[in-house]
Amino acid sequence: MAPKFKSNLELVKQVDCFPNSITEPEAFSERMADHARLMYLSHTVGYIIPSVLEALQDKELSGEWWEFTPGVVRLLGDTEEVRTKNIGETLDRWRKAKRFQVLSGWRNEMYTIYAPQGKPCFIMERSATPLFGVIAYGSHMTVYIPATATSPMKLWVPRRAAGKQTYPGMLDNTVAGGMGDGANPWECIIKEAGEEASLEAEYVRAHAKAVGYVSYFYVRHKEAGGEAGLLQPEIEYCYDMVVKEPSEGGPVPRPCDGEVDEHLLMDVEEVKMHLADGKFKPNCSAVLLDFFIRHGILTAENEPDYLEIYARLHRRLEFPTR
Amino acid sequence: MAPKFKSNLELVKQVDCFPNSITEPEAFSERMADHARLMYLSHTVGYIIPSVLEALQDKELSGEWWEFTPGVVRLLGDTEEVRTKNIGETLDRWRKAKRFQVLSGWRNEMYTIYAPQGKPCFIMERSATPLFGVIAYGSHMTVYIPATATSPMKLWVPRRAAGKQTYPGMLDNTVAGGMGDGANPWECIIKEAGEEASLEAEYVRAHAKAVGYVSYFYVRHKEAGGEAGLLQPEIEYCYDMVVKEPSEGGPVPRPCDGEVDEHLLMDVEEVKMHLADGKFKPNCSAVLLDFFIRHGILTAENEPDYLEIYARLHRRLEFPTR
């Protein structure tokens, strides 16, 4: 059987897979019919799927910190601190009861969920964010060697550790990591560059460049770890960093914290091939396609789905953000 | 009185000013209450404001090529050719009757309006597109000299001709132009680079780089020419072109077709100042802010409205596209 290669649009659809209310209003309404909105004042901060709603409504299991009206869930608590404490109590109970597999990947990393005007609404354990369909933030960096007259552009591509909990063995962006409470995107990428790729902070500060962000609404596959179908809208700040060839003194990313098995130097055609072959972690495909569009590798003339791909990589989410 | 400088978010709000159904659902519904949808099959291809709806419903004035149901207008005709002929007849009559000021800027340039899957739905006179709230396409290029150790980044900035019909005397992107029927974004920017800035086609082909697009939903100010309040959703393909300093042999853009009075070489701080001072044509501000974000000049750390600015520069429109 011939291998089935994925188009770039198919790659984007794997990561931006929750129906869009603007372009697919009927599919969106249908999907939302059995989802509840997690609301703070008049703002929706996340979507809750039926299996999570059911757990929340079980007061013995989840506690009495939740208020339910048709289609709407509210986390009780008058201040950020109280709301943070309340959701923390619920999550501790779920974890002890092994109620959701996804919590077996407990990280002890706190993520901030925002109210309007960038004010924190509450803070919660990272691994639980997809249970509430709230926005998770991260920073991703593409480290590359520009094309020359005789050599194509090359990208540094890590292979995730075979033993990693999520997407083991898949290809990744050069540096990538989630952004915990109190962090900012720039410090996040510098820290991750050290931890994941042994790149010196001083070097990264001098050479990395902020280039925007990608946003999408991911519905988790089983490779993400935990239950399939959990909701994970994300905003990933993107950075580019130009480096020289190793033979010319350019830095060589090296595994450091055990999250990565090896760093490969691939030219653009190899990266495209591995993308089409489904070898990259889904949201890393999104970052790479954005990189290809910003660098004139994918264009309106060579990519029939150019407009839709780029639009979906910059999806507007209805939730308040940082 | 102290001058009132505009924030970057205010600049974006000037060009993306139609309510967004995702983030402002109530304002969107309220606005749409008296607008009709221009529909083709089950797809909305434009929005029609009350004054235009009234003109369309006057059969003596506008002909019998329009069908009305509550909130919906359809252009009759079973084929693209017939629909194109029918809307053309209506527009000719409006023009002769001087029914809309905006048609005094008649261009004799045909723009394509798309059905799903990028198929043309009909073709129409450029100056009339804001009467139907259909997507207009264009290409914009930022020509710049990168920063060096001793010199900041500089951009080539044209001043529009004082006698130009739209936005006379305002600052603009280095090269910019609308994309007529049958054109593609790349050929469009090469043609405009010659016509507006005397840049040689061969040079532009070798040095310009596609870098994505900006999209927004503009509601026309009076400076756009014609009636204020007309609807102009747009997709502008963006290109960057690195050049050398003129003193090092870099090309110098020169006025050519009378649309531009002069080309100025400004450093980034000057461009920012003129942006804040409202000196740039609104959609050129959008292209420049996207450029600043892609080049790490505006970042999540130095621009409090970073997420919203970039999201609004990549607005998803509900209409089918190329």
With respect to residue A34, please indicate whether it lies within any of the assigned structural domains. yes
Phi and psi (nearest 5°) for B286? -60, -45
Average pLDDT over residues A240-245: 98
In this prediction, residue A2 carries a pLDDT of 59
In this prediction, residue A275 carries a pLDDT of 98
Q: Total domain count for chain A?
A: 2
- In a shared domain, residues B222 and B288: yes
CATH of the domain at B53: 3.30.750.160
Q: Among the three residues A63, A97, A128, which one is the final residue of a domain in this structure?
A: A128
- Residues forming beta bridges with residue B1, ordered by sequence position: none
In this prediction, residue B3 carries a pLDDT of 63
With respect to residue A265, please indicate whether it lies within any of the assigned structural domains. yes
Interface residue of A299, A313, A315 to substitute, partner B, most B CBs within 10 Å: A299
| B21 neighbourhood in chain A, CB within 8 Å | 21-22
Domain that holds residue A257: 8-15+136-312
User: How many CB atoms lie under 10 A from the CB of residue A261?
Assistant: 16
Closest Cβ opposite residue B321 in set A307, A318, A321: A307
Instruction: Determine contact: A23 vs chain B, CB below 8 A.
Output: yes
Enter the DSSP assignment of B203: H
Sheet containing strand B36-40, strands side by side: B43-48, B36-40, B72-75, B66-69
With respect to residue B28, please indicate whether it lies within any of the assigned structural domains. no
CA distance B72 to B53: 10
With respect to residue B84, please indicate whether it lies within any of the assigned structural domains. yes
Contacts by B75-84, CB closer than 8 A, 24 or more apart: B75/B38, B75/B40, B75/B122, B77/B122, B80/B119, B80/B120, B80/B121, B80/B122, B80/B123, B83/B121, B83/B122, B84/B122, B84/B123, B84/B124
Residue with tokens 């840049």: B199
In this prediction, residue B1 carries a pLDDT of 54
Q: Which of A165-169, A266-270, B8-12 has the lowest mean pLDDT?
A: A165-169
pLDDT single digits (tens) A47-95: 999 999 999 999 999 999 999 999 999 999 999 999 999 999 999 999 9
CA distance B219 to B228: 8
In this prediction, residue B199 carries a pLDDT of 97
Could you give the ipTM of this predicted complex? 0.96
CA distance B301 to A93: 37
Residue (of B155, B195, B163) closest to B178 by Cα position: B195
CB–CB contacts below 8 A, A to B: 91
CATH of the domain at B259: 3.90.79.10
Closest Cβ opposite residue A186 in set B300, B317, B318: B300
With respect to residue A225, please indicate whether it lies within any of the assigned structural domains. yes
Closest Cβ opposite residue A310 in set B213, B295, B296: B213
Chain B from 252 to 311: CB within 8 A of any A CB: 293-296, 299-301, 304, 307-308, 310-311
Closest Cβ opposite residue B307 in set A184, A299, A322: A322
- In a shared domain, residues A76 and A149: no
Q: Among the three residues B103, B127, B151, which one is the final residue of a domain in this structure?
A: B127
pLDDT at residue A8 is higher than 90: yes
Positions in chain B short of pLDDT 50: none
State how far residue B310 is from chain A, nearest Cα, in angstroms. Answer: 7
With respect to residue A320, please indicate whether it lies within any of the assigned structural domains. no
With respect to residue A150, please indicate whether it lies within any of the assigned structural domains. yes
CA B97 and chain centroid, separation: 27
Are residues A314 and B311, on separate chains, in Cβ contact within 8 Å? yes
Average pLDDT over residues A260-283: 97
- In a shared domain, residues B54 and B154: no
Q: Among the three residues B75, B95, B127, which one is the final residue of a domain in this structure?
A: B127
